[in-house]
Structure 1
Amino acid sequence: MTMHTAEVQTRRPSGLKPHTLIASDRVEGTPVRRPNGEKIGAIQRLMIDKLSGNVAYAVLSFGGFLGMEKKHLPIPWTRLKYDLAQEAYQVDLTDEELTRAPAYEADEEFDWGDRSQEIVIHHYYKAPRYWGV
């Protein structure tokens, strides 16, 4: 048993078996960090494809300090990895990449019905499309 497994097991009520599932409300608010541990932001919400049931995006809450407007960045779910040691999702993006990433203002709504915007997002992150070709 690795240290990470032991940590996870001690946080569960006794008698429950280990698993990798998590409730969506526990993902919301989870920090997003770089591989070096630096915090980038937090997950604001998950966007789930109604037809497949798969998570398509994590919407990252980013900015809101040092004169930056708070923005929401839809990041393809396939770009995020969970790091047990950091208890955070991890994405390897530079400040410049985050600043230039497709985003929308925190007080606006994103048009999830506009496939052309989703194509831009997936192209930017070099991520496979969740909806196929």
Structure 2
Amino acid sequence: MTTLDPQVPASAGTQGADIVGVGIGDGPGPDVMAAATLDGNNVMSSDGEHVGKISDIMLDVRGGRIAYAVLSTGGFLGIGDTLHAIPWSALTLDTDDKCFVIDASADQIKNAPGFDKDNWPSMADMQWGTAVHEYYKRPPYWAATRDVVKERRLDTDL
């Protein structure tokens, strides 16, 4: 089975976002989508509150992985909002409600470490990234996918 096999749960052996719902339309998605189509998607907390919108999806360019989704909370028309790096694996794409659900309560998001649009952290800093992943109780994306990448290399060497 491949990772795109609909019989394999999205979380089986990967650190990607889970997908729920039956909302499958024409064209790409929901398994493979353009990152730009996810920008601006609403994000709901695990306790059902609207906590913000996806403002960016950050890629680990060298590793070929999604590193984080950036959640924009509060503010008005982008002024005074707080940004939060969210591990991709902490999100579930709900195709029925056309939103993401984060595996954290609204209070956890409110109290999460954040930053503003003019003072981004160094997202390649492993110490910073480890702290973010620990806050959301997720293994760091670079550690979680290391075995998958090694496995793929072995498969191609055969």
Alignment of 1:78-89 (within 5 A): 78-89=89-100
Q: Secondary structure at the match of 1:108?
A: coil
- CA deviation digits over 1:49-81, x for unaligned, max 9? 11231111100001116xxx4110000000001
Bigger relative contact order (CA 8 A; separation at least 6): 2
Shift of 1:38: 3.0
What is the identity percentage for the equivalent residue pairs of Structure 1 and Structure 2?
30
Could you state the TM-score of these two structures normalised by the residue count of structure 2?
Answer: 0.67
Q: Tell me which amino acid in the other structure corresponds to 1:8.
A: I
Matched-pair contact (CA < 8 Å) for 1:37–1:86: no
Q: Secondary structure at the match of 1:60?
A: strand
Equivalent residue number for residue 104 of structure 1 = 115
Equivalent residue number for residue 8 of structure 1 = 24
Q: What stretches of structure 2 of length at least 5 have no aligned partner? A: 1-20, 145-158
Equivalent residue number for residue 116 of structure 1 = 127
Could you state the TM-score of these two structures normalised by the residue count of structure 1?
Answer: 0.78
Shift of 1:99: 2.0
Q: Secondary structure at the match of 2:142?
A: coil
Shift of 1:37: 4.7
Shift of 1:83: 0.5
Equivalent residue number for residue 45 of structure 2 = 34
Q: What stretches of structure 1 of length at least 5 have no aligned partner? A: none
Matched-pair contact (CA < 8 Å) for 1:61–1:71: yes
Shift of 1:36: 5.8
Structure 1: distance between partners of 2:132 and 2:106: 17
Structure 1: distance between partners of 2:29 and 2:91: 22
Q: Residue 71 of structure 2 is aligned with which of 49, 60, 69?
A: 60
